[in-house]
Amino acid sequence: MTLVAGVDSSTQSTKIELRDAESGALIARAASPHPPVSPPRSEQDPMSWWTAFELAWEQLGSPAVAAISIAGQQHGMVVLDSDRRLVRPAKLWNDTESAADAAWLVKQLPAGAGGWAEAVGSVPVAAFTVTKLSWLHRNEPDAWSRMAHVLLPHDWLTMRLTGNLTTDRGDASGTGYWSPSTGEYRWDLLDIIDRDRDWTAVVPPVLGPLQSAGAWGDVIVGPGTGDNMAAALGLGLGPGDVVISLGTSGTVYCVAVNPTHDATGSIAGFADASGRFLPLACTLNATKVTEMARRLLGVDHAELDRLALNADPGAGGLTMLPYLDGERTPNRPQATGVVGGLRSDGTREQFARAAFEAVACSLYDAYQALAAACGPQEGRLLLVGGGARSSAYQQIVGHVFGRQVTIPHDDEVVATGAAVQAAAVLTRTDPSTVALHWGLGTGSPVRPTASFVAAAAFDRHRYEDLRDATVGW
Q: What is the pLDDT of residues 31-83, one digit of tens each?
A: 999 999 888 899 999 999 999 999 999 999 999 999 999 999 999 999 999 99
Q: Mean pLDDT throughout 311-339? A: 91
DSSP classification of residue 166: -
Q: Which domains does the chain have, with CATH numbers?
A: 3-235 (3.30.420.40)
Segment 160-179 shows an average pLDDT of 98
Of 58-62, 224-228, 378-382, minimum mean pLDDT range? 378-382
- Torsion-angle region of 171 (φ positive above 0: left; ψ -120 to 50: alpha; else: beta): alpha
Name the packing angle between helices 413-427 and 431-438 (round to 10°): 120
Task: Phi first, then psi: give them for residue 340, nearest 5 degrees.
Answer: -125, 160
b or e along 43-77 (b: 16 or more beta carbons within 10 Å of the residue's beta carbon)? bbebebbbebbeebbeebeeeebbbbbbbbbbbbb
H or E element, residue 381: strand 381-384
Model confidence pTM above 0.85: yes
433-442 pLDDT, tens digit each: 999 999 998 8
Q: CB neighbours (10 Å) of residue 397?
A: 28
Tell me the average pLDDT across 232-238. 93
Per-residue pLDDT, 333: 82
Residue pair 341/317 in contact by the 8 Å Cβ criterion: yes
Cis ω on the peptide bond leading into residue 33 (within 30° of 0)?
no
Q: How far is CA 15 from CA 8, 108, 149, 287, in A?
A: 5, 40, 26, 19
| pLDDT higher than 80, residue 222 | yes
What's phi and psi for 179, nearest 5 deg? -95, 115
How far apart CA 23 and CA 294 sit, in angstroms, is: 40
Are 273 and 170 in contact, with CB atoms under 8 Å apart? Answer: yes
| Predicted pLDDT at 296 | 97
Active site residue 227: yes
pLDDT at 217: 97
The b-or-e profile of 303-329 (16+ CB within 10 A means b, else e) is ebbebbbebebbbbebbbbbbbbbbbb
Model pLDDT, residue 452 = 60
pLDDT in tens, 12-27: 999 999 999 999 999 9
Of 227, 262, 305, 459, the active-site residue reads 227
Predicted confidence (pLDDT) per residue in 274-293, tens digit? 999 999 998 989 999 999 99
Distance CA 151, CA 163 (A): 13
Query: What is the predicted pLDDT for the residue at 459?
Result: 73
Beta partners for 69? Answer: 6
For residue 31, list its beta bridge partners: 15
Is the model more confident about 221 or about 376? 221
pLDDT of residue 272: 96
| CA quadruple 97, 100, 102, 104: dihedral sign | negative
- The C-alpha torsion from 127 through 279 and 437 to 17, rounded to 10°, is 10
pLDDT greater than 70 at residue 454: no
Element (H, E) at 70: strand 67-72
Q: Is residue 137 classed exposed, middle or buried when 0-12, 13-18 and 19+ CB atoms within 10 A define those classes?
A: middle
Residues 5, 59 contacting (CB under 8 angstroms): no
Residue 153 pLDDT more than 60?
Answer: yes
